[in-house]
Chains A and B, each alone.
Chain A
Amino acid sequence: MIGFDAILASFAAALHYESIAIILGGVLLGYIVGVIPGLNRAVAIAIAIPLTFYMSAYAAIAFLIGLSKGTAAGSAVSAILLNTPGEPSSAATCLDGFPMARAGKPRKALKVGLLASVIGDLLATLLLIAVAIPFASVALKFGPYELAAILIFALVFIAGMAGGSFLKGLAAGGMGVILGTVGLDPETGAARLTFGHAELMEGVPILPLVIGTLALAEMFVQLDEYRRNRGASVIKLGKDKQDNLSFREFKGTLPTIFKSTGVGAFVGALPGLGPSVGAFMAYGLAKRSAKDPDSFGKGNPNGIAAAEAADNAVIPASYIPLFGLGIPGSVSAALLVGAFMIHGIQVGPLMLRDHPEMLFTLFSGMIVASLLMLAVGWYGLRIFAKVTSVPPHIVIPVVIFLCLAGIQVQGYGTFGLVTVFAFAIFGYFLKKFDYSFVTFLVAFIVTPMLEMNLRQAVILSGGDIAILLDRPIALAFVVFTVLMTLHLAWSSYRQWRQKRLKAAGS
């Protein structure tokens, strides 16, 4: 286990000026991406991964975490000034943010959003630090039976909770599992689904997969949307002194911020739910518990505070299952796993044993990122408000170029270009037909780990399933998985029946 001195050294490393510069770069870029409607966190991370190839492992991950945090905070700007959320999770911010801005208080709305974002993010980061380490210490004691059972449970849970149809979620998970098995079999050395391509021997390359399915596919969707929605108007920031946030007004939002942070952290810790669920749940809770619920939706600062605090609390909290168990609970967490893999680090409880300094430096880097987020957002308010007006028809061609550049710079060549295009088509269909992307990506990422643990479990048990009776944790997760599947199938069936009856009634 790491000593106190080493923890202090990790914090000192995170406070080094080079480290701060890298995190600042990530936060700044994330903020800009978040502010531009149509560009989201996943697109930003997918495009930024090639940039991190030449950084050290810590710098790369710190940069990506800064980017992730920056996009969450930045997306509030377009939600408030444009009524168009930069991220789907900021849709709840629009409900009160835009009416407040339209009523002549855009600066106040932005500052409430920023402070709620920073507080939510910071508190959830502290929670992550407090919870992930004991969690990982326990997880280190798990054997292949427990890990295989937990991974299967997580996949089913994500498929059910990621929104949309459970059947489509599971089918997407199946696709992810198949793609995750591509490459040389670790036990026999047999080439699996490589079709004779040497490039696939080590598995489907993660970079063309994420750039194709996330960034390029998203641009195809954006092109389709652009045809339908053109010409949104931006609210400009004025110089009205009444439009400044007073300490009293800020103090009034604090109880909502704390409550919403709790909601966001809880939702984030559960794999698959994502920030949109957290933001809307916190908004609903704030509205229900308010003395004046009718003022919500008309520019109540508590509405903005609730949505933003929860949205930003989800991200650090979603790293709890990642660092604790190695299970990425969201798209951005899955992308981080990819970035860790590229740098040769296996993320999960083993990090606590193999790279404890790295883990603590990352945690301290996350706190630094939260504070930088406040500085960047506070002083860059006017500039970011201007960035909101960058039209999508300029953003889309540049992002398509960046997608191809990311592949070319890494030297993937023709194979990479074809792969990225194939995955863009695949990602487009996943989005268009509403197949859970997060389940697909998480299944793809965890399949090698799942296969290794399943294989070890089969070898150790000699194929005797009764061994589970001696492994209560594994057995409990197997039972949870079965119950969860039955519950999700039953609730999907009830929803389908209700819809059918409704359709028959009308």
Chain B
Amino acid sequence: MTENHTVLRMNFWSGLGVATFAVLLLTWVVPHYGGRGFAVGMHPRTLATLGAWIMLVCALALVLLSAIALIRQRLPFFRLPKPGYLWHQTWPFLFVLAFIVLVDRFPLTWVAPFLIGSLLLVLGERRWYVVLLTAMIPAIGLYGLTAHLMRIGVV
């Protein structure tokens, strides 16, 4: 039952998010950036507008249906997640983003051992030889592939 409640709340909030995004697309993004000019058949913006309308109608229906179900079952629309939950959801993204910033500045081949090794440590691996081998082998493989086989230099 709790799972059903969670699904209802997820449907409500995700529907609301999609609907808001669709409104943004319809009112600002597509009219300004969807393409201009004279077209004999279909206008360049037609299909994108149609896609945004489909998103909006479906998302609004989803919001409406889940809101009715939540109200009828006297369930709260919002429930604060447990402390730490948000952090558990967010840290992998921040971790990868940090390495993307590093890869933008240094070659991935040099960054890779740190990326793999640190994630292994974060995930609880403590055997040094496992960390070392898992971190080094893919980086060496990439070096061999790009510098020697493809001859495009160290990426």
Contacts and interface: CB of A to CB of B under 8 A. Distances in A.
Given A174-B52, A181-B48, A394-B120, A220 B92 contact: yes
A204 interface: no
A227 interface: yes
Contacts of B86: none
Majority SS at the chain B contact face: helix
A168 B7 CA distance: 13
A451 B66 CA distance: 33
Contacts of A450: 47
Contacts of B25: 178
B96 A167 contact: no
Given A414-B104, A421-B96, A227 B88 contact: yes
Contacts of B58: 167-168, 170-171, 174
B54 A177 contact: yes
Contacts of A177: 47-48, 50-51, 54
Contact of A397 (B14, B103, B120): B120
Contacts of A168: 11, 14, 58, 62
Contacts of B115: 397, 400-401, 404
Interface in B102-121: 103-104, 108, 112, 115-116, 119-120
Majority SS at the chain A contact face: helix
Contacts of A417: 100, 103-104
B155 interface: yes
B82 interface: no
Interface string B139-155: 10010011000101001
A190 B34 CA distance: 9
Contact of B41 (A54, A187, A414, A506): A187
B40 interface: yes
Interface residues of B, number: 68
Interface string A375-413: 000000000000000000110111011101100110100
A424 B97 CA distance: 11
Nearest to B66: A496
Contacts of A216: 96
B76 to A, nearest CB: 15
A454 B47 contact: yes
A414 B100 CA distance: 9
B109 to A, nearest CB: 9
Given A171-B59, A174-B58, A409-B155, A404 B44 contact: no
A229 interface: no
A447 B47 contact: yes
B132 interface: no
Contact of A187 (B18, B40, B53, B130): B40
Contact of B134 (A173, A398, A503): A398
Interface in A407-462: 408-409, 411, 414, 417-418, 421, 424-425, 428-429, 432-435, 443, 447, 450-451, 454-456, 458-459
B23 interface: no
A434 B15 CA distance: 11
B54 A404 contact: no
A39 to B, nearest CB: 15
A503 B50 contact: no
Interface string B116-138: 10011001110000100010001
A409 B47 CA distance: 34
Contacts of A170: 54, 58
Given A173-B54, A178-B51, A178-B52, A408 B4 contact: no
17 contacts: A171-B58, A171-B62, A174-B55, A177-B48, A181-B47, A189-B37, A400-B96, A405-B155, A409-B145, A409-B146, A411-B152, A424-B96, A435-B14, A456-B41, A499-B69, A503-B4, A506-B1
Task: Give 7 closest A-B pairs by Cβ, nearest first.
Answer: A177-B51, A190-B35, A174-B54, A174-B55, A393-B123, A192-B35, A185-B44
Given A185-B35, A188-B38, A418-B100, 13 more contacts: A178-B51, A188-B37, A192-B34, A192-B44, A192-B45, A193-B30, A394-B130, A404-B103, A405-B108, A408-B108, A408-B155, A499-B69, A506-B1
